Amino acid sequence: KFSFGLNTLIQGEQPPGQSSLFTLLYFTFTLHNMGLLDIVPAGVITGDNVRKVFDYAQEHGFAIPAINCTSTSTVNAALEAARDIKSPIIIQFSNGGSAYYAGKGLSNDGQKASILGAVAGAHYVRQVAAAYGIPVLIHSDHCAKKLIPWFDGMIAADEEYFKAHGEPLFSSHMLDLSEEPKEENIEICLKYLKRMAPMKCLLEMEIGITGGEEDGVNNENVDNASLYTQPEDIWDIYKAFSEVTDLFSIAAAFGNVHGVYSPGNVKLHPELLGKHQKYVQQQLNTKDDKPVYFVFHGGSGSTHQEIATAVSFGVVKMNVDTDTQWAYLVGFRNYMEAKKDYLKAQVGNPEGANKPNKKYYDPRVFVREGEKTMITRVQDACKDLGNVNVL
């Protein structure tokens, strides 16, 4: 998949006194040892740079966590976590998270608060991402059919931003029409893909159902057979979408479930992704053994081996939400327990009845504790995905 301008080699040119074989070996070594920042810039990336990052991830056997964020605090924690281990990151906004970002006091009639929050969040990420020195993708999470007005609002913001800057506001969006018939799923996704393609904005779609509950869509009692996507479905999507653009990814179901469940209740079969890749490869008659960008949903509680297997078969993105929510809480909880005697009143603590407690109840102090534990969990996700020191 790599073609980083080997024009001198193709044209038969090489350094004086060096053979073509030497030049070939030199370029091969150089390409293999390039870090991501040799290929794409720091800051928010879109279009061709997203493709380069995903290709690089598949080539080097890692995937990128997509961290659901609901505030500037959680955005900052995700960016800091990735920066400190030299990793790219995806900042992801869900429908409910977007509404929260805009403010719980706003009405979400017509998805207005969710649109406002997602757009505000994307602009915030654009303001700070480059300062962290890492490649960052901005993505919108699950959009079911009933939430399409939210999707429309974000695409409109992309188009407005594109007119001014030559790229979309967001790097990518997800349409989750997995509850709809396959034909309708593909038809609606294609309609939006054709609108997004001129901006080079990537579309993520889902085929097969992810169990559990996410943003008001409850699949906890779905038939288990629906939790496993068939290779023919993947090919139908790939064939239809690739006629428009190659900037798309597929969240294929292989037993995934949103949320956290007791061990043994979730039966993942990531090896199915390998069968899907092989089937598409055969249909295309290509040497590329990972033609599809796969996405891993419902990964909470997955074993290291399950994650590694999924990544080995072309997963480039894994959603992380439930575990980082818990991690963020743990920091708050531990702080409140440790400082409880300093948080009972504004004045007065074990050090004296007149001692002020402001430095203990300052939000910048206790919110930071939540950020610290979230940072650790984001870095754990990066490590699980092999996404460390890749810049």
Residues serving a catalytic function are 141
Question: Under a CB-based contact definition with an 8 Å cutoff, are residues 66 and 319 in contact?
Answer: yes
Task: Name the region of 103 (left: φ>0; alpha: ψ -120 to 50; beta: rest).
Answer: left
Residues 47 and 27: their CA atoms lie apart, in Å, by: 25
Distance (Å) of CA 15 to CA 4, 9, 20, 22, 377: 18, 10, 9, 9, 48
Q: Of the candidates 335, 340, 316, which has an alpha carbon nearest to the alpha carbon of residue 89?
A: 316
Q: Of the candidates 72, 70, 67, 69, which has an alpha carbon nearest to the alpha carbon of residue 363?
A: 72
Rounded CA Rg of the chain: 23
Distance (Å) of CA 203 to CA 33, 108, 171: 29, 24, 9
Our measurement of the distance from residue 267's CA atom to the centroid of its chain's CA atoms, rounded to an integer in Å, reads 23
Which amino acid is present at 341? D
Distance (Å) of CA 257 to CA 92, 218, 221, 269, 321: 18, 11, 11, 12, 12
